[in-house]
């Protein structure tokens, strides 16, 4: 586990670091930003597939908003707040109040629902300095946060769709998971019948999930949020350690506090339900988990160091740079080692630096328009046509495969 520590790997691979000029706020270096953006684009594609709309809201709000949302009374100690022109303002610790303002900006018909607002907003929470720990406990972070404004009769379909999206993402990342239903706590707010209806809808969704996926779910009695029941998702990494990142929560109270409504078919106004949901949770925490899960050996689609081209001698540098250009044009993170070192030393350095593929080129490869392929695990794949290697690596990256397509033993 110590060898997998994300703080150690982050330093070794030049991914990210922290500095005392801003405790709990990560500096992502270029290599780390590539991983960050890879996860972000992955989620954005799923948002497109599942009908979400991206929105952008402010980072700083007048405390009137936090009084309306209830954060002023229940969460102020975890917020950064300050005076501007003798008025109190606060940096947002979560996106939901801003999304309520967005929803309330105009009137809505029942036909418009569900509305799915997604935002990769920068959030700040005032964690105690002693509690800060690498990327797992930070003050500044970004969530794949989304809020679905829907009718009560749409809860089941929306949570079902959420679980389908969640499964696609976590299966792609190679993470195992368990689901649990957390029900009405003692200090709940709202009507008992609303809670009963919502818990019944979530139970139905989870039973369907159990049938389809052959995975059991558990019950956490009286462990729901005060504003609504939720499905808690526990994630396990390669070492079997558990984390909580993803969640889906129903909220009956925030729509009431913000006086949100939609017009029903009979012309009467009705209060919508908000479905709070996240899949990655915070990207910072997920990158910490994945760094340790993969032990720094990133799959090609997430890797910040995908291809290294190694010319055998100075005579092959121009050909090597041409190979680099060909891979760069196909949007690979590719580098060329033109240092005056032996080929063996350059290959070893590339493997230590976790480049997925090392392409060695010399006079023979230049004549044949080929590359000699090695992997970071020192598997020698031999001489291959450039077009063939490009095709194989494009497939491995674009299909987001966890296993390398080159250098693997054929499956029986």
Sheet containing strand 87-91, strands side by side: 60-62, 87-91, 81-84
Tokens linked to 338: 């033109």
In terms of Cβ atoms closer than 10 Å to its own Cβ (0-12, 13-18, 19+), residue 347 is buried
d(CA 196, CA 199): 5
d(CA 55, CA 6): 31
Torsions phi, psi for 263 (to 5 deg): -95, 125
CA atoms 383, 386, 392, 393: torsion sign: positive
Tokens linked to 345: 């030393």
d(CA 95, CA 276): 10
| Residues taking part in catalysis | 96, 125, 143, 145, 147, 230, 276
In which residue are the tokens 């196909």 written? 330
**SS3 letters for 359-376?**
EEECHHHHHHCEEEEEEC
d(CA 168, CA 180): 19
Query: Do 387 and 369 meet the contact criterion of CB atoms below 8 Å apart?
Result: no
Strand 357-361 with 370-375, pairing: antiparallel
No. of helices (H) and no. of strands (E), the chain: 13, 21
**Collapsed DSSP state (helix, strand, coil) of residue 342:** coil
**Nearest-CA neighbor of 322 among 312, 305, 333, 336?**
336
**Collapsed DSSP state (helix, strand, coil) of residue 32:** helix
In which residue are the tokens 């309330």 written? 104
């Amino acid at each position: 586990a110590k060898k997998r520590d994300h703080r150690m790997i982050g330093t070794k691979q030049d991914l990210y670091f922290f500095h005392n000029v801003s405790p709990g706020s990560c500096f992502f270096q270029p290599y780390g930003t590539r991983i960050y953006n890879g996860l972000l684009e992955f989620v954005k594609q799923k948002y497109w597939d599942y009908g979400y709309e991206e929105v952008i809201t402010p980072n700083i709000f007048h405390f009137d908003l936090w009084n309306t949302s209830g954060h002023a009374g229940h969460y102020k100690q975890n917020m950064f707040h300050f005076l501007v022109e003798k008025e109190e303002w606060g940096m947002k610790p979560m996106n939901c109040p801003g999304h309520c303002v967005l929803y309330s900006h105009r009137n809505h018909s029942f036909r418009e629902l569900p509305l799915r607002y997604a935002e990769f907003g920068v959030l700040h929470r005032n964690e105690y300095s002693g509690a800060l720990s690498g990327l797992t406990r930070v003050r500044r972070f970004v969530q794949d946060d989304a809020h679905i404004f829907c009718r009560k009769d749409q809860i089941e379909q929306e949570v079902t769709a959420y679980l389908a999206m969640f499964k696609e993402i976590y299966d792609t990342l190679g993470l195992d998971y368990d689901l649990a239903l957390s029900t009405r706590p003692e200090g709940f707010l709202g009507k008992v019948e609303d809670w009963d209806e919502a818990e019944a809808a979530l139970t139905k969704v989870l039973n369907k999930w159990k049938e389809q996926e052959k995975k059991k779910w558990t019950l956490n009695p009286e462990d729901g949020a005060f504003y609504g029941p939720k499905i808690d998702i526990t994630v396990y990494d390669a070492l079997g350690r558990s984390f909580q990142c993803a969640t889906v929560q129903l909220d009956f109270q925030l729509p009431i506090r913000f006086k949100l409504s939609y017009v029903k078919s009979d012309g009467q106004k009705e209060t919508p339900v908000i479905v709070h949901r996240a899949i990655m949770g915070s990207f910072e925490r997920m990158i910490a988990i994945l760094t340790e899960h993969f032990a720094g050996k990133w799959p090609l689609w997430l890797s910040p160091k995908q291809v290294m081209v190694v010319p055998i001698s100075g005579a092959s540098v121009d050909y090597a740079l041409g190979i680099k250009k060909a891979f760069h044009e196909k949007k690979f993170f590719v580098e060329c080692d033109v240092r005056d070192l032996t080929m063996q030393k350059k290959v070893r350095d590339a493997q230590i630096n976790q480049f997925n593929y090392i392409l060695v080129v010399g006079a023979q490869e230049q004549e044949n328009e080929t590359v000699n392929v090695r992997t970071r695990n020192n598997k020698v794949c031999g001489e291959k046509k450039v077009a063939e290697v490009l095709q194989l690596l494009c497939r491995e990256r674009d299909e987001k495969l966890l296993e390398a397509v080159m250098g693997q033993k054929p499956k029986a």
